[in-house]
Each structure stands twice: as C-alpha cells, then as structure tokens.
Amino acid sequence: MKRKPIYVELIIHADMESLWTYTQTAELHEQWDLRFSSINYLPRKSERNTQDFLYETRIGFGLRISGTGRAKSSVREGTGVRLSTLAFGSEQPFSLIRHGAGYWQYRPNADSITFLTKYDYATRFGRLGHWFDRLLFRPLFGWATALSFDVLRLWLEKQIPPAVSLQRTLIHYLSTGLLSLLWFYEGLVPKWMFPEAGELGIMKSMQMFPGMELQALKWLGAAEILLGFLMLLYHRSKWIYRLQVVGLSALAGGALICTPSLLAQPFNPFVLSATMIGFCLTGIWTSRDLPDAANCIRKKGEMRQ
C-alpha cells in the first residue's frame, strides 16, 4: 500500500530573513522542532548551498536515535520563494526510519510567510514496521511536526520561547486531564456506585428534593461526568473553566451550609473544590497562546478559515 507523505502548512507573520534564520540555524532549529533533540551542522564542503548535519532524537528509556542528513537551499528569482530540500536517514538497526526526503518551502505574502513542509520516509521491520508506522508513528510524527510549526509561529510572532510554550502545554494538559479525571470520579463513584457512603446523606440534609434524593444525586453525577467529557473537548475555551468555578463554589457552599461538620473531615467538599478551582485557574492561564497542531493545514490545497 502506498505511503501518504506528511504535509504541514502554516502562515507565519514574520519577515523572510527571521524565519529563514530560525529554521536554518541548528541552535535555533533544535529548540522548536519536537522531532529532534539535537542538530549539529558539519563543516561545509565545496558546494556553498549544501549543508550536512547530524541529528539525534531521544525516545525514552535511555535510547537515542541518531542519523545524518543533507540540506540544500535555493531561491526562485522573481518570486522570492525559497526552498530547502532535505535527505536524511539512520543506520541504527532499531530506528524505524531507514531513509527519507522532503523539503521546506517559504512563500512570501504581503505581510506574512507561508511556511510548509512535505516529506516521506521508508521504514524498517517489514510489514510490522509498515503497519506500526501507518497506524501510530506517522500520525504522531505528523502531529509533532504541526505542533512544532505552531511553536515556531509563537516564537516569531509573540516572542514566546519554545521552552515556555512546551512547558505551558505540559502544565495545561496535566491540569485539564486531572480536572476531567476528578469530574469522572466524582460523578461515577460517590454518586452512582456508592451513594450511601456519604453523598446521599449530604443530599438529604439539604432538603431540596424530598423523597427523590437518590435520583437527584444520580442526575448530579451524570452532569459531572458530562462536564468531564466537555473538559476534553473545550479545554482551550475559558468559559468551560468559569462554568466549573461557579459550579464548584455552589456545590461546596451548599454542602457546607447544610452540613458544617463536614469541615472537620480530612477530605471535605471545601478541600476538593479549592483544588479543582486551582486547576481551573491554571487552565485559564495556560490556555492563552497555547500552541495547537490544528492551526496548521495538513492536506495540500486545504483552506483554513
């Protein structure tokens, strides 16, 4: 089956020389490109526009994939379009990528640059390597390329260093992931699976649904589970966090007003709500200028609104 090349395109509001410098200087390139841990240029040979280099990628567990590459640049007279072609490969027997090739293209617009890449590679390990690449590695590699392009855009447009963007991304997904997990747990375990352990008693003490406390508790649990799913879908939107802050304040306040003795418990609504509100505030803060692979065009000719 024919392989589908990886294609990524993004408009960056920067001048050509800045974009060229940030993508053609090894010390800068390795900072924003998630695919590489280090890039080292080798001394140039006779041909002025050709650059050989060594690359390395850490894949975890102390393992590193290293390889070699050769880049060649050119400029189209009259249009100002720049092209950087690339051939790369690795001799390491445990590297999935055997060899590959592609290009970067820089197309000048009125006040921006269209920066795009297209590349493909051959794999090792026969059919197993082919299917692993098709089902997991290639989609992940394409996503990493797109996310890297947006990290570069933020660096050039808003002067946010790649290390800051990646740190903010990690904090954001940890916070929102924990929020979703807590909503799933709070909606399912104490309200659906074990309501008699305490939640049902709190609901009865509120005297808001006489005779229907269990049903009301399960409806509340379903709403909390739904909110956990909404967190996964809309974690980049600030309204979802504001909604949670209001809801958490109401839930904790209502429980403590009706049952003040809960404050003496080691795990009480106030502690849980305060923790989750803290995650909400972190989510609001980190959602600003968060790199997003979805900002990139992934198919040639596709239009982006």
Q: Is residue 65 in a domain?
A: yes
The answer on 237 and 112 residing in a single domain is: no
CATH code, 135: 3.30.530.20
The answer on 145 and 10 residing in a single domain is: yes
Distance CA 280, CA 244 (A): 7
The answer on 19 and 154 residing in a single domain is: yes
Q: Among 144, 160, 176, identify where a domain stops.
A: 160
Cα angle: 59, vertex 65, 68; to 5 degrees: 145
The answer on 121 and 46 residing in a single domain is: yes
The answer on 252 and 181 residing in a single domain is: yes
- The predicted pLDDT at position 3 comes to 81
Q: Is residue 232 in a domain?
A: yes
Q: Is residue 293 in a domain?
A: no
- The predicted pLDDT at position 24 comes to 93
- The predicted pLDDT at position 253 comes to 79
- The predicted pLDDT at position 76 comes to 87
Q: What residue type is 121 in one-letter code?
A: Y
> In tens digits, what is the pLDDT along the chain, a chain of 305 residues?
678 999 999 999 999 999 999 999 999 999 999 999 999 998 877 667 788 999 999 876 677 899 999 999 998 888 899 999 999 999 999 899 999 999 999 999 999 999 999 999 999 999 999 999 999 999 999 999 999 999 999 999 999 999 999 999 999 999 999 999 999 999 999 888 888 777 777 777 777 778 788 888 899 899 999 999 999 999 999 999 999 999 898 877 777 777 777 666 766 778 888 899 999 999 999 999 999 999 999 998 776 65
The answer on 147 and 175 residing in a single domain is: no
Q: Which residues contact 39 (CB under 8 A, 6 or more apart)?
A: 26, 29, 30, 33, 53, 54, 55, 56
**The model scores a pTM over 0.75:** yes
The answer on 150 and 172 residing in a single domain is: no
- The predicted pLDDT at position 59 comes to 76
Q: Is residue 186 in a domain?
A: yes
The answer on 193 and 60 residing in a single domain is: no
The answer on 199 and 63 residing in a single domain is: no
The answer on 260 and 233 residing in a single domain is: yes
- The predicted pLDDT at position 45 comes to 72
Q: Among 111, 137, 160, identify where a domain stops.
A: 160
Is-contact 187 222, C-beta < 8 A? yes
Q: How many domains is the chain partitioned into structurally?
A: 2
Q: Is residue 297 in a domain?
A: no
Is-contact 224 248, C-beta < 8 A? no
User: Which range marks the domain in which residue 126 is found?
Assistant: 6-160
- The predicted pLDDT at position 169 comes to 96
The answer on 257 and 201 residing in a single domain is: yes
The answer on 179 and 228 residing in a single domain is: yes
- The predicted pLDDT at position 77 comes to 82
- The predicted pLDDT at position 109 comes to 94
Q: Among 160, 193, 213, identify where a domain stops.
A: 160
Q: Is residue 305 in a domain?
A: no
- The predicted pLDDT at position 300 comes to 81
Q: Is residue 294 in a domain?
A: no
Q: Is residue 21 in a domain?
A: yes
- The predicted pLDDT at position 209 comes to 77
Is-contact 160 17, C-beta < 8 A? no
